[in-house]
Amino acid sequence: MNRYFPLVALVFFAAVPLWLQDQYYLHTLVVAGIFMLAAMSLNLLLGYTGQLSLGHVAFFGIGAYVSALTSLGFDVTVFGRQISVEPWPPFLGLLLGMATAGLCGYLIGKLAFRVRGAYFVIVTISFAEVVRLVALNWVDLTNGPLALPGIPPLTLGFEWTGYVTLWGKAENYYVVLVFIALAYLLMKRLVQSPYGRAMIALRENETLAVSVGVSVTKYLVLAAVVSGAVAGLAGGLYAHYIQIIDPMIFMFLNTVTMVIIVITGGKGTLAGPVVGGLIFGLAPVFLRNYVGPEVQWILYGCLMILIVFILPQGIVPEIERWFNRAKPDRRNDAAGQEGSSVLALARSGRANH
């Protein structure tokens, strides 16, 4: 696809709040954006390293709880020792949530990547369940099922500039948009670097990859750390935007949503989670007038199965193929010419020997 396309899309979405004032639509877009971010993080693992994390919501929830708790402040007793934390500025909480989720990614990666594939899936599911049980039962810290209300919205600024609190939907929309753009750029640089190539190599042919010196654990753990941190960021944004979280945040359905977004959009492509996130994030807008939420989920499932049947690689790779097919002559000619000139070079090089 055109390389300016992401920029055009960014400008387009930056302009949306200028003409869209409807609070419900903006809200839907903010939530869609947050799940898009989470799906982007999942894509790094699932799409680029080929490892399926079915507990991805754990990183999301950890980011949400850590960010929420540090910006609310808390008192807990651990092993008879009193720990009290004064409220932090929400942005610091957000960063701490990211860091904690990244650290969890590291631990899970170290633990699970010794044996990969199905084992990794099981470890991640179990991890999410453990974290959910902690959130549910450590009532002193998390309020358990009673939820953690009154989470402050994000604030921008410093002590010496004064703070701006982001109460409105449009402000949050922009914050999420900025983070999506940053995450996209970060993912792009990562996957197109030697780091990303190593991850793709491991996905495509692990034996061959290690034979040229690619370390399995190093790159899979790295992917898990970055993936966990970005999912934690998404969770933190969610907490400060919704302003109340409870252990339901860890429900399996949230992981499934991320997986659906990645697979339908196109795993292992940068734009895949963005496109998938838009489709599944905005679907409720179109469906809500007709069917209830439960039926919506059934429809999403059907939609995903349909898309996967028609476009097994997902939407984005299929669009890319269309683009390339639309101008095959030019592309082949260019490649052919370059190829033959390089061949000529190689031949003359050989003749010199």
Where along the sequence are the contacts to other proteins (CB under 8 A)? 186, 189-190, 193-195, 197-198, 200-201, 204-205, 207-216, 222, 335, 339-340, 342-343, 345-346, 349-350, 353
Q: What are phi and psi of 332, to 5 degrees?
A: -65, -40
Q: Alpha-carbon distance 296 to 274, whole Å?
A: 20
Smallest gap from residue 101 Cβ to other proteins (A): 17
Q: Alpha-carbon distance 92 to 181, whole Å?
A: 20
* Residue closer to other proteins (CB basis): 123 or 209: 209
Residues whose CB falls within 8 Å of the CB of residue 307, separated by 6 or more in sequence, listed in order: 264, 314, 315
Query: Alpha carbon of 150 to those of 129, 240, 242: distances in Å?
Result: 25, 9, 9
* Residue closer to other proteins (CB basis): 288 or 331: 331
Helix H segments across 138-292? 139-142, 169-191, 194-204, 206-211, 216-242, 252-265, 272-287
Smallest gap from residue 346 Cβ to other proteins (A): 4
* Residue closer to other proteins (CB basis): 6 or 284: 6
* Residue closer to other proteins (CB basis): 117 or 194: 194
Angle at 190 between CA 188 and CA 194, to 5 degrees: 125
Smallest gap from residue 190 Cβ to other proteins (A): 6
Q: Alpha-carbon distance 270 to 314, whole Å?
A: 12
Smallest gap from residue 81 Cβ to other proteins (A): 36
* Residue closer to other proteins (CB basis): 111 or 186: 186
CA 339 to chain centroid, in Å, comes to 38
* 280, two tokens: 């599944």
Smallest gap from residue 205 Cβ to other proteins (A): 6
Smallest gap from residue 47 Cβ to other proteins (A): 13
Q: Alpha-carbon distance 250 to 132, whole Å?
A: 6
Contact 264, 304 (CB under 8 A): yes
* Partners of 157 in the β-ladder: 163
Q: Alpha-carbon distance 164 to 295, whole Å?
A: 40
Smallest gap from residue 119 Cβ to other proteins (A): 18
Burial class (CB in 10 A: 0-12, 13-18, 19+), 172: buried
* Residue closer to other proteins (CB basis): 149 or 339: 339
Smallest gap from residue 131 Cβ to other proteins (A): 26
Smallest gap from residue 14 Cβ to other proteins (A): 21
Contact 199, 193 (CB under 8 A): no
* Residue closer to other proteins (CB basis): 210 or 244: 210
* Residue closer to other proteins (CB basis): 170 or 201: 201
* Residue closer to other proteins (CB basis): 27 or 218: 218
